[in-house]
Amino acid sequence: MGKNVVGEIAKAVVIEYDEAVRGKMTTLLRQIGFAIQEESSGQRGVALAHRAKPDLIVVGFGLPDIDGIETIRRLSAHLDAYILAVMDVSEEIEVVLAFDAGADGYSPKPLREREFRARIDSFSRRQARINQMLSDRQGSAVEVLSHGALRLDSSTWEVHLDGMPIVLTATEFTLLHVLMQVPGRVRSKKELARRVSLEGDDLEHGYVSDSDVRSIEVHIANLRRKLGDSARSSQWIETVRGVGYRLVNDPGSY
């Protein structure tokens, strides 16, 4: 991993009650190259994350005070960090609630070390792509995408609607960026899932699970809400049933 988007050593906060599990998480993260801080409760973890301003936050469910969903909700309300929920994934509704609260990804609990490492590696690859993209754009023309009253600046990672800033997570920004590149073009849910977390040849052929697809649905729902949009009245993002999503060609006509 090494560096974050501003060239600093990437930072992670681990919030996990079980000391042994927390130790495994921090060991794996240090091996990848993160600077780690850790806490064993939700409330103290949220306070730590607000002080530390990390690039990555790992939230282990089963905290002794506030639950994992509420912890994620408090974190995502004020921080731009990537939030990974480590949770029991046997109940789909719990996964959906975690994404709806603001999680960007998940890993099963009890902890599966190889899968946890794979999720972190996926995040690291995405950060590396962002670093490369920002480096490539230094001294070159800035990419600004506009669509009606919607404006996206990929050099500053800012989105404005009617001149007002819209705060998006990294995942939401990536999804909107993909949709705005070619308004009207339908993007499948699997394609969007790959664009969010994969790279290289995997962008075309990488494995996408049912949970990954469901996470895209939740992220799109959150993105719509922030744009003042909805599935029933699509001014910006239209659902193409059985396929995926596209940016409405003429937002002014809705």
* The CATH number of domain 11-128 is 3.40.50.1860: no
Listed by start position, the domains of the chain span: 11-128, 141-253
Say yes or no: do domains 11-128 and 141-253 share a fold: no
pLDDT tens figures, 3-21: 554 457 889 999 999 999 9
Residue-level pLDDT at 44: 96
Residue-level pLDDT at 160: 94
Is pTM beyond 0.75? Reply is no
pLDDT band at 254, cuts 50/70/90?
A: very low
Residue-level pLDDT at 6: 44
| Residues 200, 187 contacting (CB under 8 angstroms) | no
Residue 109 CB coordination number (10 Å): 19
Tokens of 31: 């091996």
Q: Where are the alpha helices (DSSP H) in the chain?
A: 19-32, 42-52, 68-78, 92-101, 113-137, 170-181, 189-197, 202-205, 210-226
Residue-level pLDDT at 222: 87
Query: Taking 60 as the threshold, does the pLDDT of residue 192 lie above it?
Result: yes
Structure-model confidence comparison of residues 197 and 214, the more confident one: 214
Residue 87 Cα distances to 6, 66, 96, angstroms: 30, 14, 12
| Residues 63, 72 contacting (CB under 8 angstroms) | no
pLDDT band at 203, cuts 50/70/90?
A: very low
d(CA 100, CA 132): 30
d(CA 76, CA 71): 9
The region of weakest confidence among 37-41, 60-64, 217-221 is 217-221
pLDDT tens figures, 84-95: 999 987 777 888
Residue-level pLDDT at 130: 63
Question: Mean pLDDT for the chain?
Answer: 84
Query: Taking 60 as the threshold, does the pLDDT of residue 252 lie above it?
Result: no
Structure-model confidence comparison of residues 229 and 181, the more confident one: 181
Structure-model confidence comparison of residues 150 and 169, the more confident one: 150
> Could you tell me which of 37, 40, 48 has the C-alpha nearest to residue 16?
40
Write the CATH number of the domain with boundaries 141-253.
1.10.10.10
Degrees to nearest 5, angle at CA 205 with 203 and 207: 95
Residue 180 Cα distances to 5, 49, 142, 143, 168, angstroms: 22, 32, 15, 12, 15
